[in-house]
Amino acid sequence: MAIAEWLQKLKVGELSARELVDQQLARIKSVDNELNAYVQVTAERARKDADRIDKARLAGESLPPLAGVPLAIKDNLCTKGIRTTCSSKMLENFVPPYESTVTQRLWQAGGILIGKTNLDEFAMGSSTETSAFGATSNPWDLSKVPGGSSGGSAAAVAAGECMASLGSDTGGSIRQPASFCGVVGLKPTYGRVSRYGLVAFASSLDQVGPFANNVADTAELLKVIAGFDPLDSTSLKVPVPDYSATLNDSIKGLRIGIIKECFDQIGLDAEVKDSVLSAANHLQSLGAELVDITCPRFNDGIATYYVIAPSEASANLARYDGVKYGFRSANTQSLSEMTALTRSEGFGSEVQRRILIGTYALSAGYVDAYYKKAQQVRTLIRRDFDNAFNQVDVLLTPTSPTTAFTSGAHENDPLGMYLADLLTIPANLAGLPAISLPCGFDQNGLPIGLQLMANVLDEARLLQVAHQYESTAEVMKARPNTAELVP
């Protein structure tokens, strides 16, 4: 059910907020044992919030834009009084004393928290397999991963366990799981959405964004969470456009760039390539102009990211020392032993690997060769995009080189896992907004994702093009209903 459809039902009394919440909780109960999309379900609070909305409606009060919409929140966004674990043993019992700005805005808009979703530990990963609380499965095929790191948020939307959700995207963690789970996911421009209350991974790359079943719902959520926040020093002080208002504008004459380097990839699945190029042709049939674009440094993004992101992570994660909050190793004899054991026992192996890489890249004698060099390449990547956006309005690529892979496929192959982010990372390095939306299925029936990127703060354009595609493409009409996934 789309948000607009739900609000209509609520308004005329066809379905109450309480009934909807009860339906969602029943759905979670019946499928989440298999999916493990949720780390925690907040049933009692959800019912109370729903009753409040129903009361307000009966009293004739005007309803806010997300009234009664059941929402799932990635468990690296702080929720006051509600455990926020980052799917790590380190924060297993951490109860934040404050609320993140994005969630605060959702509750103010009438949204209802239904639960906190699973992720790769501290958002480091592309499969939601490194969670300390067990892996999440893909609702389209339980033997496949849902993508990551926001795999729980994507799977929950795909399986009808919530109406929409929030994730975070540092190198693709919203778009890649959206692609693997056949839903829409948007990473906003760096600074468009407040990061206050998001547990930091790599501060120059992290952004919070929505997942939804369709583009119009994505636009609704973005409208609510976007905008200046004095509590985040990187937040931009610019007005938020009405993203829903321009969804139906024609894309006639719009220039769409096809990045050559993305389609010449070794490892790009042929079915993914065909499906994404057909989507481009469909957009052309709607009046858009396709332009060949070259971004020579695009493929250097991954190497650049895997120096910058771990470097920032090694600094951000220094705070987990067993002193102030979180897990502390028991029975240690000295301060240094306590810190060492706390970090060895509290962090999983992927997080430890990132901290070691980052510490190495930042250490004296290596910082020039690695960290500084990576920053220079980052500038070159951004220049490629500047150049591209002088010629086109939007760039089009696949979201991920493959469809959802089998669980465990990259268990002993971290580099293979890192390659899953090849096509999503450049937008983070350049701070650009990007969206992933479904554009077809492979021969096994798994969804394929199309990525669109726009210039900074041009989310409205992304949503418009995505909506035009979604509402006219034949393949989208044959899309199975979420209720049919995971019977």
Give 254 or 434: the residue with its C-beta nearer to ligand GLN: 434
Angle subtended at Cα 99 by Cα 112 and Cα 37, rounded to the nearest 5 degrees: 50
Task: Please name the amino acid found at residue 390.
Answer: N
Q: Which string of b and e fits 195-207 if b means at least 16 CB within 10 Å?
A: bbbbbbbbebbbb
CA distance 437 to 230: 32
| Residue whose pair of structure tokens reads 């929030």 in the numeric block | 166
Buried b (16+ CB within 10 A) or exposed e, 372-402: eebeebbeebbebbeebbeebbbbbbbbbbb
CB of 17 to ligand GLN, least distance (A): 32
Neighbours of 20 (CB within 10 A): 23
Site mask for ligand GLN (CB under 6 A), range 243-262, x = bound: --------------------
DSSP alpha helices (H): ranges in 296-372? 301-316, 335-346, 349-362
Q: How many residues bind ligand GLN (CB under 6 A)?
A: 14
CB of 116 to ligand GLN, least distance (A): 16
Nearer to ligand GLN, 280 or 427 (CB): 427
Instruction: From the candidates 16, 126, 127, 149, give the one annotated as an active-site residue.
Output: 149
In terms of CB distance, is 20 or 417 closer to ligand GLN?
417
Q: How far is CA 406 from CA 71, 103, 361, 447, in A?
A: 28, 33, 32, 14
Question: Is 88 a residue of the active site?
Answer: no
Answer positive or negative: Cα dihedral of 122, 92, 107, 185: positive
Helix axis angle, 349-362 to 335-346, nearest 10°: 120
* Active-site entry in 127, 131, 173, 275: 173
In the region spanning residues 293 to 332, those forming contacts with ligand GLN, defined by CB under 6 A, are 309
126 vs 311 by CB, closer to ligand GLN: 126
Which amino acid, residue 355?
Answer: I
Please report whether residue 126 would count as binding ligand GLN according to CB under 6 A: yes
Give whichever of 462 and 485 is closer to ligand GLN, judged by the CB atom: 462
Please report where in the chains the tokens 């009753």 appear, as a residue: 51
Output the smallest distance, CB 300 to ligand GLN, in A. 16
The interface mask with ligand GLN, positions 162-201, x = CB under 6 A, is: ------xxxxxx---------------------------x
Q: Are 453 and 200 in contact (CB under 8 A)?
A: no
**Roughly how many angstroms between the first and final C-alpha of the chain, as a whole number?**
17
Stretch that binds ligand GLN, among 47-55, 118-126, 338-346, 399-407 (CB under 6 A): 118-126
Enter the tokens of residue 466.
């995505």
* Residue showing the smallest CB distance to ligand GLN in the complex: 173
Piece of 122-130, 363-371, 383-391, 466-474 that binds ligand GLN (CB under 6 A): 122-130
Query: Least distance in Å: CB of 265 to ligand GLN?
Result: 17
Nearest distance, CB of residue 334 and ligand GLN, angstroms: 33
The dihedral region occupied by 13, where left means phi > 0, alpha psi between -120 and 50, and beta the remainder, is left
Interface residue with ligand GLN among 421, 458, 459, 470 (CB under 6 A) is 421
Q: Is 149 a catalytic residue?
A: yes
419 or 439, CB closer to ligand GLN? 419
User: Of these, 24, 88, 104, 149, which contacts ligand GLN (CB under 6 A)?
Assistant: 149
165 is catalytic: no
Q: Three-state DSSP class for 133? A: coil
Residue nearer to ligand GLN on the CB measure, 53 or 184 = 184
d(CA 453, CA 187): 9
Q: Which of 74, 144, 187, 223 is catalytic?
A: 74
Among 65, 62, 84, which residue's Cα sits nearest to residue 74? 84
Catalytic amino acids? 74, 149, 173
Binding site for ligand GLN (CB under 6 A): 123-126, 149, 168-173, 201, 309, 421
